[in-house]
Every structure is written in C-alpha cells, then in structure tokens.
Amino acid sequence: MFATKRKLIVAGLLAIAASLAAQPVFAHGLGDRYDLPIPLTYFVVGAVASVALSFVVVGLFVQGESASYSYPRYNLLQQRWFSWTLGGPWFIALIRAFSVVLLLLVVATAFGGTNRPLENFSPTFVLILWWVGFGYISAVFGNVWMFVNPWKITYEWIEGLVSRGRRRPYLYRYPKKWGVWPAVILFLLFAWMENVYSGISEPAKLGTLVILYSFITWLGMFIYGKHVWLKNGEAFSVLFGIFSRFSPTEVRVIDAAKTCRKCQEECEPVDGTCVDCYACFERAESENREFNVRPYALGLARPEKISNSMLVFVVLMLATVSFDGLGETSAWNSVIRFFQDNVSVGITDTVNTFGLLLAPVAFLIVYAGFSWLMRAVSGVPDSTWRLARLFVFSLVPIALAYHISHYLSFLTGSGQLIIPLISDPFGFGWDLFGTADYRFNPFIINAKFVWFTSIVAIVLGHIIAVYLAHLVSLREIKNHSQALRSQYPMLALMVVYTATSLWIIAQPLVGIGS
C-alpha cells in the first residue's frame, strides 16, 4: 500500500482531518465492498470473449482501404461562436491567468498554510484533482495542458518582456538522441514520489518539489527552446500529450511545406499537413490554422517515427498505474509482510521502490516478447523493436481504461476535500465562499458502480486497442493475410492483460465469488 494516497483517502473517507497517523487501508478503496452475483471468473471470461470477438469483427470489416490515415474532421475556428467564446483571446487570457494563479496558490499554501495535509490546498489539488483529473480531461477534450501549462505561460510572459516580441533563439540544439528520455526520468521520479514517498503529502515538502520542478522546466525551455523542451523534457506535457491523442480534438497546420521548414522540432507532415505540432501552429498564419474535431482514438494511429524513448515512456505509463493497483491487492501485501517478517519492519518503502522499478522492466520484456512473436508469425522482415515501436500507441487506450478504473473512486471520494479548501485554502479557519462547512460524503458512488464502470472501461479500452493495432498493421504490412497474422500475438497480449486488469481491480473492491 502506498503511503501518500493511503493517508489522504483514509482521512477523507472517515472525515477526520488530523488522522494521518491512522492505520493503513487500501488507497483507492471505497467505504463498502460489492458482492459479485456470479464468480469473478465468469466476468473475466466474458470480458476476454468480448475482446476476442472484437478481433474477429475488426478483421472481417476493416480492410486495406479502411486503414489509410484519413478521417472526417471539422474546423471549429471557422465557427464565429467558437472564436467569440472558447477560442476568443479574452477567454484564453482569462484561463491562462487563472492557471498561473493556481500555481502561485499551490506554492503559497504549501509554505504559508497549515502543515496538516487535509486542511491545506496544495496536497489535495496537486495529488488528487490535477494529477488524476487532468488525465481524464486530456483524453476526453484534448491537449488542454498545452494551453494552460503555467510553466509555459509564465515563461512566455517573461520572454515577451525581455525580448519585446522578438523570437529568442535557443542556446543549444537539443540532442536528437536524447528523445524523451528526460521526460522518462522525471516521470519515473514523480511516480516514485507519488506512490512510495510519504513526504510528498506534507505541504512544505510538496511545495519544495513544485519549485524544483518549475526551475527545471524553465531552465529546459531557456536552454533548448520552449516547444522542444515541452515536447521532450517536460514529463506532464509528454504524458497529457499522449493521452490527448485519444481525444476528439487536434491542432493542424495546412501549409506544412512552408511552416515546417522552420520547425525546430523536426516534425513530419503527413499529406501536406502538420498535426499537433504546437511550434508550427504558433508560427503559422491564422488562415492556415485549424482546430479540428475528429473521431476519438484515431490520433493514436498517426503515421510517424516513434523513438525507443517514447516506447519506454508509454510502457512506463502503463506499468506504473498497474503497479499502483497491484499495491492494493492482498498478494502484494503478502509480499510486504514477508519482507517485514524476515528482513525488517521498516523495509516497506524499499520493497515498493523495487517493485515500482521492476514493473516497467517486466512490462517491456513481455511487450518485446509479444512483438517478437508478431514478427515470427507474420514473417515480415522488420526488426522486433521496430514492430514494438509501431504498435506501442495502441496500448494507450488500455492505460486510459486502467486510469479510469483505478482512480475513479479516489477522484470522486477524496476529490471532495477540495470543496471546503476553496473557502479555506491555508487552513486558517476562513470561509471565503461559504463552503468551509461542507460535509464529506464517502458513498457518493458505491463499489457496485465502480466495479461495472471498471469492466466497461477495461473491455472497451482493449477493444479500441485491438482496432488501432489492426489499423497500424494494415498500413505497415501491405499483405492483408500477413497483417492479420501479425495481430494474433497482439490479441493474446490483450486477452492476458484484460484478465489481469480485472483481477487487480477486483481485489480491494469486490467480494470474490467462488
């Protein structure tokens, strides 16, 4: 069990503001459990059968001509109502200012407010609303983070004042071989602090980490250029950018031949247009910009070169949230107790650290193994790692599904803590907006709702992953029968992970039938 979320959720669910010394329970559990009407095995078999059936349907109806990377899209910038509201400069300026105010409030409350985490705005906002909630926002609406990132906004403000509107050249060219490795390292550090390091829930320590990350981000943008660092080094821009590929919105530049020649990011236009490259979108003339609505998930099938570092980042996303869920199972608690009994009572954090580090390694080995099977079964001349890179974004719907399943009760439960904190962010006894007396409702959703929502999310996530992988295989492997054979190992991987995901989700949530 991970200390940070455990402390927040226990105290939240019991509505005891100063109970951080309470005994541990499951981090994302609800106040009740749900007794399954049928054995868990039946749910797992049904989910696996649904994923397998989707493979048959996709194989029958998605043929070569359906695999081209074209899809219907609608440019919202052509609509006057959009330009006057959500796309209007006044609205964007207001949202950007509000984002910076929130960052300042996080820092101010971390250092100037009470040291009791549940009575301080910063831990609740950062660890619950922002970290958990923004993943949902990115997947459902789009890459909102690129427009509200407070580090990007403050950097642009300072740069505008210093350079007086002139574009400032970067100091050093970003080494291409680095890829997104800086983001991988920073995200892994965040995952460790969020899951293992108990001190992150202490306001002052959290504030120190926020300031440190702020300086790293500003320094990276100053040295290598704003968009280059955000694309490669800023962990949350990379993370939310990947999630937003699932979303129904995109930015597009239609004069790519002209604009992309000057792009420091070395973007790769497709069909004469440049998609989701914010450096080009910022530079392009207004008549060449599009803000499009598109079908969900197709942004994950975009033809592009994927680096080994991006492959590792996507696997790390999936592995860390899965390990977080594994930490709530009795199986992992048995591992912890074994080391406590045989090595040392205080070894819990060490075991969790090793588990967190081993999880992405194990996921990568398994994924590479199935990629090798794809190569062997299909007979294509591509290397194992090239196939692994080609199909890695098809795993993102699975990561999103597990994100929903794992964090839903946490967000709706502990997320309520923000309501009284809106009126009293420092914990000084204020009631600025009349919400300070809000009474916590631990049963706003019940375990039954979470369980069935989790089933639907996990099955749909794997079905979408099967569809995306099939699209990629048809695009990259021209022979239809070879493309279809290449997906047999991918289907097996989806089936295995579907069953594993449901088992992990079920452990702290439901009464397991026999």
Residue 68 Cα distances to 65, 115, 302, 474, 475, angstroms: 6, 56, 10, 9, 7
Question: What is the per-residue pLDDT for 510?
Answer: 62
Residue 342 has pLDDT above 70, yes or no: yes
**Residue 320 is assigned to a structural domain of this protein:** yes
71: nearest Cα among 271, 343, 277: 271
The answer to whether the beta carbons of residues 287 and 259 sit under 8 Å apart is no
**Residue 265 is assigned to a structural domain of this protein:** no
**Residue 259 is assigned to a structural domain of this protein:** no
User: Hey, what are 111's tokens?
Assistant: 């250092």
Choose from 82-91, 189-198, 341-350, 439-448 the range with maximum mean pLDDT: 189-198
User: Hey, what are 357's tokens?
Assistant: 């580090």
Query: What amino acid occupies position 407?
Result: Y
The answer to whether the beta carbons of residues 246 and 299 sit under 8 Å apart is yes
Choose from 30-39, 187-196, 261-270, 461-470 the range with maximum mean pLDDT: 187-196
DSSP characters for 304-353? ----HHHHHHHHHHHHHHHHHHHTTSHHHHHHHHHHHHHT-GGGHHHHHH
Question: What is the per-residue pLDDT for 185?
Answer: 97
**Residue 376 is assigned to a structural domain of this protein:** yes
Q: Output the 3-class SS for 112-148.
A: HCCCCHHHCHHHHHHHHHHHHHHHHHHHHCCCCHHHH
Question: What is the per-residue pLDDT for 480?
Answer: 76
pLDDT band at 21 (very low <50, low <70, confident <90, very high): very low
Question: What is the per-residue pLDDT for 168?
Answer: 64
pLDDT band at 287 (very low <50, low <70, confident <90, very high): confident
Structural domain total, the chain? 1
Question: What is the per-residue pLDDT for 68?
Answer: 58
pLDDT band at 494 (very low <50, low <70, confident <90, very high): confident
Question: Quick one: which H or E segment has residue 111?
Answer: helix 89-112
What percent of the chain is predicted at pLDDT more than 90? Answer: 42
Question: What is the per-residue pLDDT for 20?
Answer: 30
Residue 478 has pLDDT above 80, yes or no: no
Question: What is the per-residue pLDDT for 439?
Answer: 85
What is the chain's alpha carbon radius of gyration, rounded to the nearest angstrom?
A: 23
Between 26 and 82, residue with greater pLDDT: 82
Between 376 and 63, residue with greater pLDDT: 376
The whole-model pTM stands at: 0.88
Between 451 and 134, residue with greater pLDDT: 134
Residue 10 has pLDDT above 50, yes or no: no
Residue 262 has pLDDT above 90, yes or no: no
Question: What is the per-residue pLDDT for 83?
Answer: 81
**Residue 336 is assigned to a structural domain of this protein:** yes
Distance from C-alpha of 227 to C-alpha of 223, rounded to nearest angstrom:
11
**Residue 153 is assigned to a structural domain of this protein:** yes
Distance from C-alpha of 6 to C-alpha of 20, rounded to nearest angstrom:
9
Residue 85, Cα to own-chain centre: how many angstroms?
A: 28
Q: What is the mean pLDDT of residues 405-422?
A: 87
Q: Which domain holds residue 18?
A: 3-248+294-509
The rounded mean pLDDT for the chain is 84
Residue 143 Cα distances to 147, 217, 251, 302, angstroms: 8, 18, 9, 16
Strand-strand pairing, 289-293 and 510-511: unpaired
Query: What amino acid occupies position 365?
Result: I
Choose from 55-59, 74-78, 184-188 the range with maximum mean pLDDT: 184-188
pLDDT band at 232 (very low <50, low <70, confident <90, very high): very high
Choose from 13-27, 40-54, 394-408, 434-448 the range with maximum mean pLDDT: 394-408
φ and ψ at residue 125, rounded to 5 degrees:
-65, -50
Question: What is the per-residue pLDDT for 52?
Answer: 82
Q: What is the mean pLDDT of residues 437-466?
A: 84
Residue 388 has pLDDT above 50, yes or no: yes
Question: What is the per-residue pLDDT for 341?
Answer: 87
Question: What is the per-residue pLDDT for 69?
Answer: 65
Query: Beta partners for 478?
Result: none
Question: What is the per-residue pLDDT for 264?
Answer: 65
Distance from C-alpha of 489 to C-alpha of 354, rounded to nearest angstrom:
29
The answer to whether the beta carbons of residues 118 and 8 sit under 8 Å apart is yes
SS3 content of the chain, % helix, strand, coil (to 5): 70, 5, 25
Q: What is the mean pLDDT of residues 307-311?
A: 95
pLDDT band at 2 (very low <50, low <70, confident <90, very high): very low
392: nearest Cα among 326, 468, 289: 468
Residue 22 has pLDDT above 50, yes or no: no
What confidence tens digit (pLDDT) does each residue in 148-193 have?
999 999 999 998 888 765 666 678 889 989 999 999 999 999 999 9
φ and ψ at residue 104, rounded to 5 degrees:
-65, -40
Q: What is the mean pLDDT of residues 439-464?
A: 83
The answer to whether the beta carbons of residues 48 and 431 sit under 8 Å apart is no
Question: What is the per-residue pLDDT for 33?
Answer: 57
Maximum CA extent, the chain:
70
Question: Quick one: which H or E segment has residue 84?
Answer: helix 80-84
Residue 1 has pLDDT above 50, yes or no: no
The answer to whether the beta carbons of residues 208 and 200 sit under 8 Å apart is no
**Residue 274 is assigned to a structural domain of this protein:** no
**Least confident piece of the model among 36-50, 216-230, 353-367, 382-396:** 36-50
Residues in the chain: 514
Question: What is the per-residue pLDDT for 12?
Answer: 39
Query: What amino acid occupies position 234?
Result: E
pLDDT band at 360 (very low <50, low <70, confident <90, very high): very high
**Least confident piece of the model among 276-290, 311-325, 500-514:** 500-514
Choose from 170-179, 420-429, 433-442 the range with maximum mean pLDDT: 420-429
**Least confident piece of the model among 49-63, 241-255, 379-393:** 49-63
Between 66 and 471, residue with greater pLDDT: 471
Residue 263 Cα distances to 11, 225, 230, angstroms: 49, 11, 14
Query: What amino acid occupies position 196?
Result: V
Question: What is the per-residue pLDDT for 350?
Answer: 92
Q: Where are the alpha helices (DSSP H) in 379-479?
A: 384-391, 396-414, 418-423, 447-476
**Residue 105 is assigned to a structural domain of this protein:** yes
Residue 508 has pLDDT above 50, yes or no: yes
